[in-house]
A and B are shown apart, each in its own frame.
Chain A
């Protein structure tokens, strides 16, 4: 089973709203990732969690707040977003470590529209 589940699939929010994206995996992976993907572009890394601790933050604005409550769950809390934040948000997970088993598996993403 290489499934990463993301909810919701679609989200429309106003600039003053607070919402959260959720990501779940049951593969025993200890590294989890958030990416942002604009249309016809590659994914851009936002955050990496390793053993439930934030290990990489790619200078993402504070209106995006990640949270890793446990090894299977990853959340992305959204607040006061801008229209340019509209994008596909992808979650991925992988085994920890430096070897060949560190393969990232992706969820289907949440399509976010900010009005």
Chain B
């Protein structure tokens, strides 16, 4: 079974600075998808960014980018120019290439300091 590990329960960053959240996963599959979801206090899980394993190029979405290292099974999220609204719980998630459910990590709580 696939597992997702987020080793940082909590992180903090100064406003306008850059922070990197770590995620590693374990799988024997070669084709899969990886996601970062954000869950602010408002509770809604919001998709931040996704990465297809077959793509070598790292995904980017505005201030959010990933460092995808397939051989190392690592999928970190970099947030640049951090804003107060970035404060939230961030979940890393894995999905197999089949029509299978998401496997979530335990989450990292990010605080942004003004």
Cβ of B44 within 8 Å of any chain A Cβ, yes or no, is yes
Residues from chain B with a CB closer than 8 A to the CB of A56 are 101
Question: Number of contacting residues on A, CB 8 A?
Answer: 27
Q: Given that A90-B45, A107-B44, A108-B44 are contacting pairs, would A100 and B104 also be in contact in the complex, using a CB cutoff of 8 Å? A: no
Question: Number of contacting residues on B, CB 8 A?
Answer: 24
The answer for the CA separation of A48 and B33 in the assembled complex, in Å, is 19
Can you list 6 A-B contacts with CB-CB less than 8 angstroms, sorted by A residue number? Answer: A42-B91, A43-B45, A45-B102, A106-B46, A108-B43, A111-B43
A42 pairs with B107, CB closer than 8 A: yes
Residues from chain B with a CB closer than 8 A to the CB of A99 are 97
A42 pairs with B99, CB closer than 8 A: no
Q: Given that A42-B91, A42-B106 are contacting pairs, would A106 and B44 also be in contact in the complex, using a CB cutoff of 8 Å? A: yes
Residues from chain A with a CB closer than 8 A to the CB of B50 are 100, 103
Residues from chain B with a CB closer than 8 A to the CB of A109 are 43-44
A window 72-115: CB within 8 A of B: 88, 90, 92, 96-100, 102-109, 111
The answer for the CA separation of A98 and B109 in the assembled complex, in Å, is 30
A contact set with B: CB distance below 8 Å: 31, 33, 40-43, 45, 48, 50, 56, 88, 90, 92, 96-100, 102-109, 111
Residues from chain A with a CB closer than 8 A to the CB of B44 are 106-109
- Give B55's nearest chain A residue, CB to CB: A100
B33 pairs with A31, CB closer than 8 A: no
Residues from chain A with a CB closer than 8 A to the CB of B98 are 98
Since A90-B45, A106-B45 are in contact, a sample of 17 more A-B pairs with Cβ atoms closer than 8 Å, ordered by chain A residue number, is: A40-B109, A41-B106, A42-B91, A42-B107, A48-B101, A88-B43, A96-B99, A97-B99, A98-B97, A102-B33, A102-B99, A103-B47, A104-B47, A104-B102, A108-B42, A108-B44, A109-B44
